[in-house]
Amino acid sequence: MVDTTNLIPNTPRYLKVPLIAFNTILWVLGLVLVIIGSIGVSFFSNFKDFTKVSKASAALSNLTTGAPAGVLVIGIFFVILTVIGCFVAGKEKLVGLVIYTMLMLIILVALIGVGGKALTLHNDDVVKQIGNAWEDVSNGPKNSTILKLENFLKCCYWNSTSSRNPLLCPKDSKGIPKYTDTCDSVISSKISSNLYLVGAAAVSIGVIEFICMLFALFLIIRICRAPRTKSYDYQ
């Protein structure tokens, strides 16, 4: 068997400092997720009535409510966990480090699940799903929700080939359409940039998180191999 003892630095500082540095980076990335998640939650809150009256309500609600809320929750979790990580690393708390490493592992698994879904969830699919709901709500009795959405998004009609009910396009007092963009392009541009940001943040977080777990594991082994003395505790 290979003796790994010498592979781990003898000075805990060499493990602590990178661990704290990586946790700081993760904290910033967590904050990015919190910000994008919040933007998504507030943007899609305007879709609530529209989602409720659409036929594909459950699927759409997963997309417009579940997805941004999920990003927000994971972000908040990261912001908290990384602060704890810096603390337990700095103080070399053995139990804290073990709990921190386990929580990181759980989040990594969750992140891989979410990331896998995000990778298969293309911008076009999201837009198409909203588009289908848009058409059926436009032709239904609750079509006023469409007008509300159009005023929020500043757009008129879904796309160039969608149904053209003149009542469903916001007009000014002279009867001229207020907006020239179609709604699919407005939604598409709003979603795609944020989807890329979330994807990039998630991939970076996954990689850095893995490195963090290695350093935390090494630090745990180091602490266990060299039992702390009293003087060390009060260093």
Ligand X SMILES: *[C@@H]1O[C@H](CO)[C@@H](O)[C@H](O)[C@H]1NC(C)=O
135 binds ligand X (CB under 6 A): yes
Phi, psi (deg, nearest 5) at residue 171: -120, 155
Q: How far is the CB of 132 from ligand X (least distance, A)?
A: 5
129 to each of 102, 125, 225, 230, how far by Cα in Å? 37, 6, 56, 63
Residue 84 tokens read as: 């704890």
Pick one of 6, 160, 231, 235: the residue that binds ligand X (CB under 6 A). 160
Q: Which of 94, 89, 110 lies closest to 24 in space, CA to CA?
A: 89
Name every residue whose Cβ is closer than 8 Å to that of residue 190 and which is 6 or more positions away in sequence: 43
Question: Contacts with ligand X in 165-184 (CB under 6 A)?
Answer: 165
The one among 42, 139, 189, 193 contacting ligand X by CB under 6 A: 139
Give the interface segment with ligand X, choosing from 41-49, 124-132, 190-198, 217-225 (CB under 6 A): 124-132
Q: Kindly state whether residue 58 participates in binding ligand X, applying the rule CB under 6 A.
A: yes
Return the range that interacts with ligand X (CB under 6 A); candidates 7-15, 57-65, 104-112, 148-156.
57-65
The single residue among 62, 123, 151, 204 that binds ligand X, judged by CB under 6 A, is 62
Tell me the closest approach of the beta carbon of residue 192 to ligand X, in angstroms.
15
159 binds ligand X (CB under 6 A): yes
Q: Does 162 bind ligand X (CB under 6 A)?
A: yes
Q: Which residue is nearest to ligand X (CB)?
A: 131
Identity of residue 101 = T
Q: Which of 2, 6, 11, 141 binds ligand X (CB under 6 A)?
A: 141
* Amino acid sitting at position 129: Q
Stretch that binds ligand X, among 13-21, 30-38, 81-89, 125-133 (CB under 6 A): 125-133
- The Cα–Cα gap between 60 and 73 comes to 19
Q: Are 172 and 178 in contact (CB under 8 A)?
A: yes
For residue 171, the cross-strand partners are 177
123: contact with ligand X by CB under 6 A:
no
Q: Find the shortest distance in angstroms from Cβ 48 to ligand X.
A: 16
Distance in angstroms (rounded) separating the CA atoms of residues 39 and 67: 12
Region at 93 (left for phi over 0; alpha for psi -120 to 50; beta for the rest) = beta
Region from 31-39, 140-148, 204-212, 222-230 binding ligand X, contact rule CB under 6 A: 140-148
